[in-house]
Each structure stands twice: as structure tokens, then as C-alpha cells.
Structure 1
Amino acid sequence: MDSGIITIFLPLALAIIMAGLGLELRPKDFARVTQHPKAVILALLCQLVVLTSIAFLICKLLALPPLLAVGLMLLAASPGGPTANLFSYLYKGDIALNITLTAVNSVIAAFTLPLIVNFAIAHFIQDGQHVGLQFSKILQVFLIILIPVGIGMLVRRYAENVAERLNKPVRIFAVVFLILIIIAAVLKERHNMMAYIGQVGIATLLFCIVSLTIGYFVPRLFGIPAFQAKACAFEIGIHNSTLAMTIALTVIAIPAVAMPAAIYSMFMYIFAAIFGTLINRFSAGDENLAELTPPTSAQG
């Protein structure tokens, strides 16, 4: 892929997707944290502390090559997104909680993602000072995440009809863009692709399964109802691989760093669907709790 397309088109396309995320958010989605503080705090701790620690352990235990280790940590630091809301809807989770977690996570990630990636670069790459996220790059990450989301929210606030009309096209664009960026990343590294799958395939598979499992069972252990635990599981377990790949290809500008996110994307949806089916059977006895907060309540 041409370097000009990478540096201009990819951030622009990601900005459109993040603006699409903002089209689904309202200020009350942030205020709703006070209604379910326990679920939100647990989900954020799982996302920011537990999963990044597990990703780090996976990198160490499987002795991943440095650039792939950085890529896995970048993936772990990336928040969830609209896809998590879709899976929560399909498997009877609390969509209102999902939207709240997405809103809060998107803001926090603008600060935590550069910190986690810089830590990974410093730890895994000996000459990390040459590829680290300096202030200008940190600012770039911040702008890529927050500004488009804010624009989307403003459109939702002052032109709700426009937001509703744009919602579906942006979702379709997000799916198409994800497919294209995976193809671009794979083509750019096609000569090393089989080696990457061998080196990081098991790591991303483990990370996907562990993310979903922790996202569901940790909240359940702390007494969170099943339908809210499902929301946490999908928000924590479905990482924004589009964001991770775009940052790897543009901000860090090393295609190999994008490989964990690209490989993860290939089976993320399959495992999320299998996991959703299993936990629906597992939590069949809690369906009465789900009825107390209908999944569609966040839509209004």
C-alpha cells in the first residue's frame, strides 16, 4: 500500500468510524456511570489492568518477537466499540451499559493507550527510543480517538435525524474498512504471513478467549447480574482491532506491529458468537433479571 494512502487515508477512514461511534452516544451515557458504578469500575479494571497484564504474560510465556509483542499490547490497550453493542443486543446483554462502557472507555483509551504502548516498546524493543510514541504521536492518537467521537456526539445532539441516517452507512463503512485494512496489512507482510500466524496465532487466540471469559466471569463473581456481565464481556472481549491496526500502520508506522490485530480480527467474531451462545445457556436461569432492563432500552 502506498505510504501516502497509509498516512492520509487510514487516519481519515478511522476518524469517520470513530465519528460513527459518537453518533450513538449522548451525554447521559457518561452520566449513567452513577447508576451502575460497580459494573463500570469492574469492567474498566478488567480492561485496563487485568487484560493488559495477561497480554504481557502471554508475550513473555510464548516468547513473542518484540514487534509482535508490542502489537499484542497495542491490541490489549484498544477499547471496545460498536461491534460490542451489536453482540450484546444479539445475546441479550444490557446495551445501555455497553454504550456507557464504550463512551467511558473511548475517553480513557486516549490517555492509557499511548502509556501502555510506550511501556511495551521500552520493554520489548531494545532501541525503543526510535519507535516510541513521543508527544506529537501521543497527541495524534488523542486526536484520532476523541475529536471524531466529539463531532459525532455534536451531530447526534443538534441533528438527530442526520445522525440516524448516517448510522447505518457508517457501520457498513466500518465493516468494509476493517476487511480492507486486514487485506492491506496481510498483503504488505505476505512473505512473512505464515511465520506471523505461527508466532502470534496461538497468542491472539488465547487473548481472545481470555478477554471474553474474564469480561463475563469476573463481574459475575462480584455479583453483577448475568445480562450486565454479558455487556461487560463483549465490551472487554471485542477489542477495536481497526484502531490498533491503524495506529500500528500510521502512528508507529511498522506493519509487523499490526499483525496481532489483523490475525485477531480473523476469528474474533467467530469466538464471540460461540461465547455468546455458551453464556446464554449458562445464564438461562437469570433471564428474569434481563427482563428488568430490556436490551433495547438504550436505543431511545
Structure 2
Amino acid sequence: MAEQRGVLRKVADFAGRWFALLVLLGALAGLVVPDQAAQLSEYVPVLLGVIMFGMGLTLRAADFALVLRRPHAVLIGLLAQYLIMPLTAWGIGSLFGFSGMLMIGMILVGAAPGGTASNVIVYFARGDVALSVTLTSVATLLAPLLTPLLVLWLAGSDLPVGFGDLFSSILQVVLLPIVAGVVVRALAGGLVERVLPYLPLVSSGGILLVVAAVVGANADVILTSGLLLILAVIAHNSAGLLLGYAAARLTGLDESASRAVSVEVGMQNSGLAASLATTHFAPLAALPAALFSVWHNVSGALLATFWARRGTPAPADEQTTA
């Protein structure tokens, strides 16, 4: 039994370390066997719910205490998250001439909270992990309210659904599973501590299947005219990373916190965007989310490597007294 747990732990560690590669393989599977992969589309909300439950298992009260201890940093991060990404999604989509489902898909990605893999990227980038976890958690809890409002504001005339439908979906697949995870950890902390090392395997597997499903459902579009959308997704992610870092530095945050804000802004919960798209719109609307899921893990890993090699300079006050 112990040997089996050891093997499973190694597999989970591999999944966490090579997450970007696994997501890319999921996208390739969607292109190679599109019909079979597309059949997974109906399970996308369930898969996201499982991922969010796993996120809830990792949360503790201390993850939210930072809101009171460092409100300035948290507020800057949240404002950057919910202003930069939605507005740049709309701007880049307009610049590239997108309309209809593709524009809605871009805006859905932009209006989503930070991605679940962002905390790992911030850790490897030697950023402020505590701030990263807090921003992911608070932004996700705000998503049922802010995501529908932003989508309705930026794509309202093209939407076949209203605020209530989007709010209900996010409540079911994001907020309720997270709350359930937090409750389970509070009631059975010892058991949860034993399964935490295996959660990367669940998250990686869930996102892999979501990406495969969405890519499979849109394989023809990707093969014929996917290059323009790929460029738009890369531009959107790059804008989030750059503008998030700039916003943090311009408002007085130190280097470590600025790295956390940059990653939180640039890496989105593309699984949520894909779930909303497949539930309320059309498979085509989920395509930006699937491509974003692949790319932001690649760009995040590259940025983390760059920052890790640079190291983390001491805050200005420490340098002065040293």
C-alpha cells in the first residue's frame, strides 16, 4: 500500500511539474481524435467543479487574513485582475476583427478570475506566494458577481443569456465546490492533509480533459483559421503579464509582490471560461479559453524561469540598512 502511494505521489509530482506539457498533449489529442474528444464537452462543468473542490481543499482562513494585513496589495491585484484582462480582451478582439462567438469567448477569458496554476508559477518565479494565493482565492469568490457583470458590459448586445444564468452557473461550478472543499478541510483536516500531495494530479487531469474536449469540438476551425486566434490569445496573455507587473510597480508594490500580481493577472481560470461557453453559448466560444489554457501555462513557466534566474532583490528598506 505504501509503495502504491509512493508511485501515485511521483505521478502527481510529475503532473504538477510538467503541467504545461500535459495541457499541450491534451490539445494535440483533441486535434488527432476530435470526435472522441468532443464527446467530453458535456462533462466540462463537472470537471471544473472537481477542480474547484480541490482548490477549496487547499484553502485555510490564513489565506484570507492577508486582506486585512495588506489591503493595499490585495486591492491593487484585484483591480488589475478585473480591469486589465477584460478590457484588453475586448480591445484585442476588436483589433483582430473578432465578432460573435469568438469575441464572446475572448471576453469570457478576460472576465474570469486568476487561474489555479498561478500559485505554482509564482512560487517558481520567487514571487509573493501568500499574496498570490489570496488574490486567486478572493478573485474566485468575487467571480459569481463580477464575471457576469463584465461579460454583459463588454459583450451585452451579443449575449443570448442574462446575468442570472451566468451567476447561477459560476455559483454551481466554482463557488459551491470551493466552499464545500473549505468545509471538508475544516471538518477532516487530517484526512485532507494526506491527500493534498495528490491534488496536482486531479487538477492537471481535469484541465487536460477540458482542453481536449474544446479543441476536439473546434478542430476544423483551428486547422483552417486558428493562427489569428492563437496570436490574439498570446497578445492577451502577454498584455496581462506586462500590464499587471507595471500596475503593481507603479502603485508602490515591491518586486516580489509585483511578480505575484503579474502572474495573477496574466494567468486566467480558462476552465471557467470554457465551462460558461459550452453551457450557455457554443463550442466556438470556448476555443479562446482552450488555447489560452495551453499558452498561459507555457508563458508562465518561461517567465518563472526568467525571474528565478534573476533572483528576488531585497526590499528597498532592507537594502538601505544592510
Normalising by structure 2, we get a TM-score of 0.81
2:230: which partner in 1?
201
1:4–1:60 Cα change, 3 Å? closer
Asked whether the 8 Å contact 2:106–2:289 carries over to 1, the reply is yes
2:212: which partner in 1?
183
- How far, CA to CA, are the matches of 1:271 and 1:136 in structure 2? 33
**Superposition deviation, residue 36 in structure 1:** 1.4
1:113–1:225 Cα change, 3 Å? same
Give the aligned residue type for 1:119.
Answer: W
Deviations 1:255-298 (A, max 9, x none): 0001111111222122112222334456x4x53349x9xxxxxx
Matched, 1:245 2:271: no
1:67–1:222 Cα change, 3 Å? same
**Superposition deviation, residue 136 in structure 1:** 3.7
1:254: which partner in 2?
282
**Superposition deviation, residue 254 in structure 1:** 0.7
**Superposition deviation, residue 121 in structure 1:** 3.5
**Alignment partner of 1:75 out of 86, 104, 109:** 109
Asked whether the 8 Å contact 1:64–1:199 carries over to 2, the reply is no
1:269: which partner in 2?
297
**Superposition deviation, residue 27 in structure 1:** 2.2
Identity among equivalent positions (%) equals: 28
- How far, CA to CA, are the matches of 2:226 and 2:235 in structure 1? 13
Asked whether the 8 Å contact 1:81–1:239 carries over to 2, the reply is yes
1:287: which partner in 2?
313
**Alignment partner of 2:162 out of 113, 133, 145:** 133
1:217: which partner in 2?
246
- How far, CA to CA, are the matches of 2:276 and 2:296 in structure 1? 19
Deviations 1:127-163 (A, max 9, x none): x3xx223524421222211111001111221211222
Matched, 1:169 2:198: yes
Structure 2 unaligned blocks of 5 or more = 1-34
Asked whether the 8 Å contact 1:93–1:231 carries over to 2, the reply is yes
Structure 1 unaligned blocks of 5 or more = 293-300
Give the aligned residue type for 2:135.
Answer: L
Q: Which moved more, 1:45-54 or 1:157-166?
A: 157-166
Asked whether the 8 Å contact 1:185–1:258 carries over to 2, the reply is yes
1:259–1:59 Cα change, 3 Å? same
2:119: which partner in 1?
85
Matched, 1:143 2:168: no
Asked whether the 8 Å contact 1:21–1:81 carries over to 2, the reply is no
Asked whether the 8 Å contact 1:118–1:132 carries over to 2, the reply is no
Query: Aligned to 2:98, what secondary structure does the other structure show?
Result: coil
Asked whether the 8 Å contact 1:197–1:263 carries over to 2, the reply is no
Matched, 1:26 2:60: yes
- How far, CA to CA, are the matches of 2:197 and 2:278 in structure 1? 27
**Superposition deviation, residue 237 in structure 1:** 1.2
Q: Which moved more, 1:131-140 or 1:238-247?
A: 131-140
2:260: which partner in 1?
231
Deviations 1:38-81 (A, max 9, x none): 11111111111122111111111111132111101100111113
1:158: which partner in 2?
187
Note the aligned Cα RMSD (angstroms): 2.3
1:195–1:132 Cα change, 3 Å? farther
Asked whether the 8 Å contact 2:56–2:179 carries over to 1, the reply is yes
Runs (4+) off by over 6 Å: 1-4
Query: Aligned to 2:314, what secondary structure does the other structure show?
Result: helix
